[in-house]
A and B are shown apart, each in its own frame.
Chain A
């Protein structure tokens, strides 16, 4: 992206900050969020549990994508290792559970804390680099985490580990599909709101400033490294939360959640939805999983049209689904 473009992009975000976007986009965003809540519940009442689990999957991955978007879309840091945080969050549920500690009040803070700690350490080193080097160093750290968990024979190693019961929230029974979905949905709304507030705060302004012109921000006296690192840690922590939810959703934890292809999928969700818009990644996660579901129902070779779509969307669609809506469905 050249400088001119990035300034225009920045200005776009400086329009009156409304949570749901602007004009046509605003209406569609609200409709999508309401549908995402109502459709699966309606299906569940009609006795079809599949759509509830499927929507919970969309919601969980949407949390991960929204958190990646905070640093990728707004901070301009292309992290190619975000799947590691998801995996760490998942193991933070699985490992205590294996030892008999099933309280969610342990699992979730641990997931968020461990992911934040991993983000702090890897970010402190990784953010010394820029551009493609940052892409590669985040990927390297994720690979390290992947091989680390893969070698833990006690916790399943290659085979992964089964989660015998979901995290125990006390008053909230998340073994019930509907309760779990509502919890995920509430957390997604919370995360989107949080990212929205972060992006439009003074902190977020500096972060976006670093993205469009870091030298200028430095000249203005900001410690850009500290701002980037803080954003990276917030993003990692949020992704850890998504990981804890995904572990509970699948009742199964495997190191495969951390492979670099998973990180690539998360990036695709962000780009597909539209990097740099708060709700974009939610669309992205939804469209991604829907496509996966529909295409894989028709053919076992669904990766073929999926890959084609990925290339075409990179070549022709600027700003993802969100950008399409904003421009009135013009490419």
Chain B
């Protein structure tokens, strides 16, 4: 039981860091530019597919990832310049609809280019094995790689936002856009750059998960909703909130799916627990979000300056 619990905890952590990579991009785009980007999940999907092709082309997964990251960033850049830029002044409703349109286009384009089937990405031998992290606890190497690279990226983002000039501009842009542009900063390039950064992060998340789940059409459409749950629970615009909420939601969701049924069985008869368990565990994160919104609409860790 405790072994299983630890392994599920690690799986939860892995989902958590993936959610953070997506939520970080959403936080940048939503927190700074006030743009609701449902199509963020499409960049996640594009990352997975582009990485798959490059992996087959170069014969190396690592090389595939390294080459795919800038490509997704460039796609994100053009996405901002062509469409998103013209919608900053519109209502959130327009954002939702336009990015819904982008999802339809992206899904179809992927189907046109890669076909309707999912693509499995082969891992090199040194990544596909398992390691014994503690006595009796064996965990797939690649999942550990996901966790550690996610945490590294989180640390890198923290450094970028807190200690660099770009990060300073991002924070300034988030708290007062007009003032920043009045000080002579080219705000539209800044926004495009930030959007590309968010796209790259989403793409990395897609590349990391693809060897486990395959790259499939529409893979981003479910996880993006979970990522929205994360940024709302964490507090819109707060990177720290996004990180904590992502880990929390990842762990709660994973543990709920594996143990909720057993927990329910302690209280109600097992037949009803069999039905209620899966239902409740898929609803769990939405229930958390609804409770947070109802009691603390600004989220758990709202940004200090807005």
A interface, CB within 8 angstroms of B: 1, 72, 78, 80, 125-126, 128-133, 135-137, 139-141, 143-144, 147-148, 150-153, 260-261, 264, 267-268, 271, 301, 303-304, 306-311, 314-315
Other-chain contact of A148, B111, B283, B290, B297 (Cβ < 8 Å): B283
Min Cβ gap A307→B in Å is 3
A81 to B286, CA, bound (A): 13
State the Cβ distance, A146 to closest chain B Cβ, in Å: 9
| Complex Cα–Cα for A158 and B301 (A) | 37
**Residue in chain B with minimal CB distance to A130:** B297
Cβ-defined contact, B86 with A143, below 8 A: no
Task: Check B258 for interface membership: any CB of A closer than 8 A.
Answer: no
Nearest-neighbor residue (CB-CB) of B89 within chain A: A2
CB pair B294–A271 under 8 Å, yes or no, is: no
State whether A311 and B98 are in contact (beta carbons under 8 Å apart), knowing that A131-B92, A267-B93, A304-B104 are contacts in the complex: yes
Indicate if the CB atoms of B290 and A141 lie closer than 8 Å.
yes
User: Known contacts A147-B279, A301-B111, A315-B98: does B294 contact A139 (CB below 8 Å)?
Assistant: no
The segment from B65-73, B225-233, B240-248 found at the interface with A is: B225-233
Q: Is the CB of B96 within 8 A of A135?
A: yes
Q: Is the CB of B92 within 8 A of A310?
A: no
1/0 per residue, CB under 8 A from A, across B91-129: the answer is 111101110111111011101100000000000000000
Q: Are B103 and A307 within 8 A (Cβ)? A: yes
Contacts of B283 in A (CB 8 A): 143-144, 147-148
Give which listed residue, B36, B91, B94, B105, contacts A307 with CB less than 8 A: B105
Distance, CA A78 to CA B98, complexed state (A):
15
Contact check, B90 vs A314: say whether CB atoms are below 8 A apart: yes
Contact B297–A128 (Cβ < 8 Å) = yes
Cβ contact of B92, chosen from A78, A148, A152, A308, cutoff 8 A: A78
Contact B293 A129 (CB under 8 A): yes
In the complex, the answer to whether A151 meets B279 with C-beta atoms within 8 Å is: yes
Minimum CB distance partner of B83 in chain A: A311
Q: Assuming the A-B contacts A261-B221, A304-B108, are A268 and B100 also in contact, with contact meaning beta carbons closer than 8 angstroms in the complex? A: yes
Contact B96–A136 (Cβ < 8 Å): no
Is there contact, CB below 8 Å, between A132 and B293?
Answer: no
Minimum distance in angstroms from A280 CB to a CB of chain B: 14
Within 8 A of A (CB), among B268-306: 275, 278-279, 282-283, 286-287, 289-290, 293-294, 297
Q: What's the Cα separation between A306 and B100 when bound, in Å?
A: 11
Chain A positions within 8 Å of B109 at CB level: 304
| Contacting residues, chain A, for B83 (C-beta < 8 A) | 311, 315
Within 8 A of A (CB), among B162-192: none
A90 to B116, CA, bound (A): 31
Nearest 3 pairs between A and B by C-beta? A310-B101, A307-B104, A151-B279
Verify B107–A303 contact, CB threshold 8 A: yes
B163 shortest CB reach to chain A, Å: 30
Partner of A151, one of B104, B232, B278, B290: B278
**Residues A264 and B275 in contact, CB atoms below 8 Å apart:** no
Please give the distance in Å from A174's CB to the nearest CB on chain B.
Answer: 32
Partner of A303, one of B94, B108, B286: B108
Set of chain B residues within 8 Å of A130, measured between Cβ atoms: 297
- For A141, the closest partner residue in chain B by CB is B290
Whether a CB of chain A sits under 8 angstroms from the CB of B87 is: yes
Q: Is the CB of A310 within 8 A of B100?
A: yes
Is A303 within 8 A of B93, CB to CB?
no
Q: Are B101 and A125 in contact (CB under 8 A)?
A: no
Determine the residue in chain B with the shortest Cβ distance to A142.
B286
A311 touches B297 (CB 8 A): no
User: A137 CA to B295 CA in the complex, in Å?
Assistant: 12
What is the minimal beta-carbon distance from A71 to any residue of chain B, in angstroms? 12
Residues of B within 8 A of A314 (CB): 87, 90, 94, 97-98, 101
